[in-house]
């Protein structure tokens, strides 16, 4: 990392974010949507104004080059980037910071830091980009641990080896998205995994949390892109064999993918790549009815066409993103290929849309950069800028968050309307203000979509955390009660634990606990996530 510093209180680099001109345009839009005349804005905290609890643990001299108790780093590793994280940050509540931050430079440093944590009775929390929105990287709250050591993988940031024949690369887990793609670029290959957090999240974080990426269909989860893994556990190193496919017993990789740091720290992975696409086509299709649009998406998802993008925005969400008129649902549809023109694919997908009442601008299809223009382009820009909204909405007292799930098609319409209505109801009750609950599909499968809900309402700054928790709990319970998953790609962390515990079979939790005792007998890795002791 260069001398640039990451904000400890918000998204991205210090000095970056929404600029005053952008805010001047956005504030009246927000005010109008939320039904308020103006906002009172809390200033972001300064590092110097926060007093931290002294570190409860001493760094051994052998780890002096790897570990720090630096004030800024402790601030920056106190929270992820969830809504309640942001509220507590603006409230200047840094009451449970990590005691030490480790920056391992090589794998052996991780082994040494874990050894030290075991002996010192410290919790060890793996830290990638810190973009968790589910409380996945914060120190445990209980008094069981003597201290917390946050292990930041940022120095393990190299693409070590590229195999251009098999289209795969061995990549260190601390590599951030942009650096990963930049290192791959000369080879003409790409991982093409672009979660919304792409700029400030890491390969290891994606694998540990089963991140969802660029492709709306087919290979959506990072799971499918992992060819093999290397993991440092307190009991030793686990390394799986590089294989394109295999049927030898239960998949070892799949036990670590999604393990959220409780078994070990992923240090590197062989990842499946692909050639950079040279053929592209994008279109945005409008529908008068969201469920009719959903039917079109279902048929496309079952067609074997596998569009790269197939994201359906409901009318309000499309309107807010500048991708629609606010009256029509918008389907952002795109195909890409490194091998062949995809006109045939796109034409058939549009034909399906037409069969379901979809309309699109035929002239936009002709343009070579159509995926960066029109509704598709507007949506793309909104998607990338959205990460900066939180640090501007929270200080204005606005409650704004997302929750996501997956559900089979035959239950989708009821599920969607029930969840949306229930969450809308609870927000109205909690805030007493106008509430918006919108929905889009982030990913779609032949057997169902992954709906992603956004909610916005004007909160009460003095009760923001309580208000949020009431809403979040209602939303999470609705997902589970109506048959969905508590998370499609945001992970479980500490925030989704109550509903995850309902979702996963209890005997499977016993098996996870049993595996945990093998890998991490002192139970020190990321406590509180997924399972309890």
335/276 Cα distance (integer angstroms): 13
Instruction: Write the CB contacts of 419 (distance below 8 Å, at least 6 apart in sequence).
Output: 405, 451, 453, 475, 478, 479, 482, 484
Report in angstroms the alpha-carbon separations of 174 from 103, 127, 159, 180, 456.
Answer: 10, 9, 10, 10, 33
Strand order from edge to edge, sheet including 265-272: 159-163, 168-172, 265-272, 226-233, 236-239
Closest CA to 129 of 51, 215, 209: 209
Name the residue nearer to its own copies (CB basis): 90 or 290. Answer: 290
Instruction: Write the CB contacts of 359 (distance below 8 Å, at least 6 apart in sequence).
Output: 285, 286, 287
213/309 Cα distance (integer angstroms): 11
Cβ–Cβ < 8 Å for 297, 312: yes
DSSP H or E segment with residue 39? none
Name the residue nearer to its own copies (CB basis): 265 or 491. Answer: 491
Partnered with residue 272 across adjacent β-strands are: 168
Closest CA to 330 of 382, 284, 299: 284
Closest CA to 279 of 344, 335, 332: 335
Partnered with residue 403 across adjacent β-strands are: 453
With tokens 């979809």, the residue in question is 358
- Crossing angle between the packed helical segments 290-301 and 409-431, to the nearest 10 degrees: 140
DSSP code string of 172-209: ETT-BHHHHHHHHGGGTEE-----TTGGG-BHHHHHHH
Name the residue nearer to its own copies (CB basis): 6 or 210. Answer: 210
483/501 Cα distance (integer angstroms): 14
Name the residue nearer to its own copies (CB basis): 71 or 219. Answer: 219
Whole-number minimum distance, CB 348 to its own copies, in Å?
5
178: phi then psi, degrees, rounded to nearest 5: -60, -40
Burial of 228-237, coded b for 16+ CB within 10 Å and e otherwise, reads: bbbbbbbeee
Name the residue nearer to its own copies (CB basis): 66 or 216. Answer: 216
156/268 Cα distance (integer angstroms): 8
Whole-number minimum distance, CB 299 to its own copies, in Å?
8
Whole-number minimum distance, CB 205 to its own copies, in Å?
13
Whole-number minimum distance, CB 511 to its own copies, in Å?
4
Name the residue nearer to its own copies (CB basis): 155 or 503. Answer: 503
Whole-number minimum distance, CB 73 to its own copies, in Å?
29
Whole-number minimum distance, CB 302 to its own copies, in Å?
6
Name the residue nearer to its own copies (CB basis): 412 or 468. Answer: 412
Name the residue nearer to its own copies (CB basis): 10 or 307. Answer: 307
Whole-number minimum distance, CB 479 to its own copies, in Å?
11
**22, two tokens:** 């952008």
Name the residue nearer to its own copies (CB basis): 66 or 349. Answer: 349
Work out whether strand 147-152 and strand 100-102 pair parallel, antiparallel, or are unpaired.
parallel
Whole-number minimum distance, CB 46 to its own copies, in Å?
36
Whole-number minimum distance, CB 255 to its own copies, in Å?
5
Name the residue nearer to its own copies (CB basis): 94 or 263. Answer: 263
Name the residue nearer to its own copies (CB basis): 235 or 469. Answer: 235
Name the residue nearer to its own copies (CB basis): 289 or 510. Answer: 510
Whole-number minimum distance, CB 504 to its own copies, in Å?
6
Whole-number minimum distance, CB 527 to its own copies, in Å?
15
Whole-number minimum distance, CB 231 to its own copies, in Å?
9
């Amino acid at each position: 990392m260069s001398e640039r510093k990451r904000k400890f209180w918000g998204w991205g680099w210090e000095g970056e974010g929404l600029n005053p001109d952008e805010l001047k345009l956005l504030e009246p839009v927000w005010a109008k949507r939320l039904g308020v005349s103006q906002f009172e804005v809390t200033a972001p905290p300064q590092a110097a104004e926060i007093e931290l609890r002294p570190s409860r643990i001493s760094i051994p001299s052998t780890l002096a080059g790897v570990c720090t108790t630096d004030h800024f780093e402790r601030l920056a590793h106190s929270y992820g980037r969830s809504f309640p994280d942001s509220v507590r940050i603006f409230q200047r509540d840094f009451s449970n910071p990590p005691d030490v931050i480790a920056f391992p430079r090589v794998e052996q440093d991780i082994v040494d830091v874990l050894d030290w944590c075991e002996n010192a009775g410290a919790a060890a929390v793996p830290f990638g980009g810190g973009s968790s929105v589910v409380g996945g990287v914060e120190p445990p709250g209980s008094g069981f641990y003597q201290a917390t050591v946050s292990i930041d993988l940022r120095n393990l940031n190299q693409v070590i080896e590229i195999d251009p024949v098999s289209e795969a690369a061995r990549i260190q887990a601390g590599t951030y998205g942009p650096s990963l793609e930049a290192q791959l670029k000369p080879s003409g290959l790409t991982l093409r995994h672009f979660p919304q957090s792409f700029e400030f999240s890491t390969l290891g974080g994606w694998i540990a949390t089963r991140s969802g990426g660029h492709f709306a269909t087919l290979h959506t989860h990072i799971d499918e892109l992992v060819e093999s893994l290397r993991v440092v556990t307190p009991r030793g190193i686990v390394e799986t064999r590089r294989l394109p496919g295999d049927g030898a017993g239960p998949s070892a990789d799949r036990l670590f993918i999604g393990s959220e740091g409780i078994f070990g720290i992923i240090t590197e992975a062989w990842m499946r790549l692909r050639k950079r696409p040279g053929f592209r086509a994008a279109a945005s299709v409008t529908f008068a009815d969201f469920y009719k649009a959903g039917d079109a998406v279902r048929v496309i998802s079952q067609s074997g066409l596998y569009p790269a993008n197939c994201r359906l925005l409901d009318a309000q969400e499309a309107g807010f993103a500048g991708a629609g008129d606010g009256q029509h649902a918008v389907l952002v549809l795109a195909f890409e290929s490194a091998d062949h023109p995809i006109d045939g694919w796109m034409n058939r997908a549009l034909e399906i849309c037409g069969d379901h009442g979809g309309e699109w601008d035929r002239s936009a299809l002709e343009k070579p950069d159509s995926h960066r223009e029109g509704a598709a382009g507007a949506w793309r820009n909104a998607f990338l800028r959205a990460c900066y909204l939180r640090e501007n909405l929270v200080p204005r007292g606005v409650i704004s968050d997302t929750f996501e799930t997956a559900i089979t098609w035959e239950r989708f319409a009821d599920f969607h309307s029930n969840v949306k209505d229930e969450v809308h109801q609870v927000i109205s009750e909690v805030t007493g203000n106008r509430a918006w609950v919108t929905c889009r599909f982030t990913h779609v499968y032949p057997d169902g979509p992954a709906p992603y809900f956004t909610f916005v309402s004007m909160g009460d700054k003095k009760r923001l955390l309580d208000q949020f928790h009431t809403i979040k709990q209602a939303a999470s319970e609705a997902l589970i009660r109506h048959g969905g998953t508590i998370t499609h790609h945001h992970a479980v962390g500490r925030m989704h634990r109550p509903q995850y515990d309902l979702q996963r079979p209890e005997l499977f939790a016993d098996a996870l606990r049993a595996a945990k005792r093998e890998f991490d007998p002192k139970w020190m890795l990321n406590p509180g996530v997924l399972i309890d002791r």
